[in-house]
Amino acid sequence: MAGNTARTFPLGHLNFETDDSRLLDEERTVKKLTFLAASAVSLLAYEPYETIDNTLRTDPRFEHVRTLDLLSGVWPVANITPVLKSSRQSYPHPIIAWSTLLQTVFVGFRGTDSMTDVLTDVNISRKTNPGLATRFHAGFHGRGELYVALIKELAAKFNVVVCGHSLG
């Protein structure tokens, strides 16, 4: 796909229905490309911060992503958000990826990869967030709470997809 194609995509709403028969061809294409990009970002979230960009550019697992030019850049959140640089959390920060083609920011969270993560996983009590009018798994809510302001700020300016495995 050419880089200019992104401007014609209907990006205001991404339909996540499993029945794609009612989607327009353009919507179906955006959905598939978005899922492919989100999957790549979810995998990249497991990479060491200092190698994620090189991994995206050279690892054979991301050949389709490179061929389609789906991700234009990838950065650890901690490197671009000063408040998070000083955070003393014991688990990795998520990563941010930008897709020029999709005009979308991806925020990727790494999933379970340590005993600390397992303890987060088993904290299954419910936590209510009145600001979001919903309830969350308490362990996941606690892990993501640090990033709510960042995601809200990004969502005010861009299309945002939050993705990841397990904890993500």
Mean pLDDT value across the chain:
75
| 33-52 pLDDT per residue, tens | 998 999 999 899 889 888 99
Domain coordinates in residue numbering, the chain? 3-164
Q: Answer yes or no: is pLDDT of 112 > 90.
A: no
Which whole number is the average pLDDT over 113-126? 62
Decide: helix, strand or coil at residue 164.
Answer: strand
pTM: 0.74
Distance (Å, rounded) from C-alpha 103 to C-alpha 154?
Answer: 12
Distance (Å, rounded) from C-alpha 127 to C-alpha 148?
Answer: 15
